[in-house]
């Protein structure tokens, strides 16, 4: 089945230790998004790729970076995780053909110790 896959589902990292979260999709969608969602809060868009074009939200900290080596894969790099970065990280995809409905992966829950 075509889908959005995120690995790992649960990630534990130490304060200040770089961590990478990965997302892959078999939907062949041209837009990929990374959201941060903390408990009882709305998903907050960090950045997105429209094809290869990277679009950073104005209030996304520099600590968060992203890479998209090809259509199928997108990575979220947190260079120096702080305790406040503990959250669920959601990857989503969309395309013009779906009215830009966003398809979400299962998320990666990040714990910072």
Q: Are strands 73-78 and 19-25 parallel, antiparallel or unpaired?
A: antiparallel
Q: Is 81 in the site for other proteins (CB under 8 A)?
A: no
Q: Quick one: which of 21, 43, 65, 76 contacts other proteins (CB under 8 A)? A: 43
- Could you give the 3-state DSSP secondary structure of residue 95? coil
CA 100 vs CA 3, 32, 33, 41, 69: distances in Å:
15, 11, 12, 23, 22
Q: Are 57 and 67 in contact (CB under 8 A)?
A: no
For residue 40, is it left (φ>0), alpha (ψ between -120 and 50) or beta? Answer: left
Contact string 1-40 vs other proteins (x = CB under 8 A): ------------------------------x-x------x
Residue with Cβ nearer other proteins (15 or 54): 54
Near other proteins by CB under 8 A, which window of 11-19, 62-70, 72-80, 95-103?
95-103
Would you tell me which residues interact with other proteins (CB under 8 A)?
Answer: 31, 33, 40-43, 45, 48, 50, 53, 55, 88, 90, 94, 96, 99-107, 109
């Amino acid at each position: 089945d075509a889908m959005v896959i995120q690995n790992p589902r649960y990630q534990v990292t130490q304060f200040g230790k770089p961590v990478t979260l990965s997302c892959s999709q078999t939907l062949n969608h041209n837009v990929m998004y990374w959201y941060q969602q903390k408990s009882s809060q709305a998903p907050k868009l960090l950045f997105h790729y429209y094809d290869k074009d990277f679009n950073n939200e104005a209030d996304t900290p520099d600590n968060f970076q992203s890479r998209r080596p090809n259509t199928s894969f997108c990575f979220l790099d947190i260079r120096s995780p702080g305790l406040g970065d503990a959250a669920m990280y959601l990857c989503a995809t969309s395309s013009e053909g779906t009215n830009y409905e966003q398809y979400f992966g299962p998320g990666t829950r990040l714990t910072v110790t």
